[in-house]
A and B are shown apart, each in its own frame.
Chain A
């Protein structure tokens, strides 16, 4: 069964840092590009970041560029999101999602991990 499990969320003060992880299983992780997508409480979905299978191509949404860093470890079947200089508006459930192909869909999604930025 294809499965993605996020971890690392929690409460952090504005300006603080947090590192999210996503453990993948049930598929050849090294063959797929991956994404992070977030959802603020009661709001819609927002794409955050993309990383290709070999880490050669990385993209960020303008809202997180310069503050967040996506990475992966194919040997550990894991995806990461290092979040620095966190702001109140970064409060959201963060999902990792497998990429469906060039400029395509997200499937499957993990269960999500909640990040709360508050003093």
Chain B
């Protein structure tokens, strides 16, 4: 069981908006540590998608956005495209366990 909780799967039609939640606790997200998001396309290594809760690395489309509040964070994807079909992971730091990940969410584009 992962320290950060994500829904196992989400889905949406092309052009729609989807959100992926990431719930932590007072020892990680609630303690003020930042949340980061990764996209893992099938058969490839994870790629940084959002860092520092809401910042996009160069090259990441502005269709991807992140937010954080209390002990939770969210990743939103607008204008869903077929190429967005992938696994998404949230990550933070925990005062006891150090670097921790969510269990991952599989995004299906219908």
Contact = CB atoms under 8 A, between A and B. Distances in A.
Contact of B46 (A62, A104, A109): A109
Nearest to A111: B45
Interface residues of B, number: 24
Given A109-B45, A112-B45, A47 B51 contact: no
A45 B51 contact: no
A64 B101 CA distance: 17
Interface in B15-47: 33-34, 36, 38, 44-47
Contacts, number: 62
A47 B98 contact: yes
Interface string A77-119: 0000000000000000001000010011111111110000000
A74 B94 CA distance: 28
B36 A104 contact: yes
Interface string B69-110: 000000000000000000001010100011111111000000
Contacts of A112: 45
A6 B63 CA distance: 32
Given A50-B98, A50-B99, A45 B48 contact: no
A46 interface: yes
Contacts of B89: 44-45
Contacts of A106: 36, 38, 46, 48, 91, 99
Contacts of A45: 38, 46, 89, 91, 101, 104
B33 A108 contact: no
Contacts of B57: 107
Q: Which of A50, A61, A105, A108 has the most CB of B within 10 A?
A: A105
A59 interface: yes
Q: Which of B38, B45, B48, B97 has the most CB of A within 10 A?
A: B45
B89 to A, nearest CB: 6
Contact of A103 (B33, B38, B47, B48): B33
Interface of A: 35, 44-47, 50, 59, 61-62, 95, 100, 103-112
